[in-house]
Amino acid sequence: MDWSIQEIAKLAGTTSRTLRHYDDIGLLAPTRIGSNGYRHYDDDALVRLQRILLLRELGLGLSAIGEVLSREASAPHALRSHLEWLRGEQERLARQIASVVSTIGALEGGEQLMAENMFDGFDHTQYKEEVEERWGADAYAKSDAWWRSLNSDEKAAWQQRVTQLSRDWSSASERGIDPEGEEAQALAQRQFEWLRGVPGTPGGGAGGPTKEYFLGLAEMYVADERFGANYGGRAGAEFVRDAMTAYAEREL
């Protein structure tokens, strides 16, 4: 079975002129040319065209694409490499979608933007050096592997959980509740459980954060303004610190 140049152009979202150009430069020859002069393409030609379009998505020029295709003896092997890249892009886009949805929700609700969440999915390695410096390369490797193992829905759910926790902290701080009171301590418990759920970090695992680690993070939220932004600024971060400190002294 084969398809005419018009059919392929429509299916691939390109033009007959582009396909003829690919033929002229030796990138994609038609399988046969009919008596009416129309070009036709079979399964192998379609696979080659798919590979061309994928490489174009990567930003390669036509001459570079020709060189890549000439070196690739196996189409399935090449497509597996493309598939791996596409799945990585799918994961990245899912995280970007989740971060944008979170930002829209905050803007529409008149809530504090969560700076740490707004750029999730744009560069998942942005904190790599800092994490490795603070807690070691193994901590980053384990937490990164855990995050990559989650599917799109799981990532979105996790992101929503973190966003909601930050919003609840900010709300509690703005209402001026007692950091040692029941509501604030329930938030501190949620903070503890969140930290326990991130493998590879000093707080991850069945036991959860140690008292020293939990208190150290509480102080870091105040000392590092990037974290404070997630809790409504310095005053919010100080409220989180005080509640976490009270929790640690009572429970850890």
Closest C-alpha to 208, from 230, 184, 191, 183: 191
Q: From residue 154, how far is each of 44, 115, 180 by CA, in Å? A: 37, 21, 32
- Rounded Cα distance between 9 and 13, Å, is 6
**Torsions phi, psi for 7 (to 5 deg):** -65, -45
pLDDT in tens, 212-251: 888 888 888 887 776 776 777 788 889 999 999 999 999 9
The 3-state DSSP class for residue 40 equals strand
Where does the pLDDT of residue 126 fall: very low under 50, low under 70, confident under 90, or very high at 90 and above? very low
